Amino acid sequence: MSEAQNVKKTASGTGSIANQLVGMNKRSIDLFFSVQKAVLEELIDVSNDALEHTSAKFSLANEFASKIAEAHSANGLKQVYAECGKHQVDFIRRDSERAFKHWQRFLERTSKVFIN
């Protein structure tokens, strides 16, 4: 009779180990899909930012070219360079802030994935 009880204990122990393995596999798959989703969302954000960045660069270059064409004197050219330099500095500042926010959002997303 004691052998039958040992067989039942062994069978129930194997079932709990199998349940634990299934649970671990499910959590691993959930983590994998969460990371994949976060990476894809970041790629979309990065591509949108790159497109916006390129568009802003082209508009700055267009503005610079038109102002150079309008300048009729050396003082006019000097003012154009000073004004466009300020625009460029503002653009770099905004671009740096955007990059900082992007990385901050990325770190928040990845930390949420690993915390959950």
Mean pLDDT computed over 87-110? 85
Q: Higher confidence at residue 55 or residue 7?
A: 55
CB 37 within 8 A of CB 109: no
Give the residue among 59, 113, 115, 68 at the shortest CA–CA distance from 90: 59
What is the phi/psi pair of residue 39, to 5°? Answer: -65, -45
Q: Which two tokens stand for residue 66?
A: 């038109």
Which residue type sits at 94?
A: R
The tens digit of pLDDT for each residue in 1-36 reads 455 555 455 545 567 888 888 888 898 898 888 888
Sequence-ordered list of residues with C-beta below 8 angstroms from that of 91, at least 6 positions apart, any chain: 56, 57, 60
For the chain, give the number of residues. Answer: 116
Which residue is listed with tokens 């691993």?
Answer: 28
Q: Which two tokens stand for residue 17?
A: 């180990």
DSSP 73: S
Which residue is listed with tokens 């503002």?
Answer: 90
- With 0.85 as the threshold, say if the pTM is over it: no
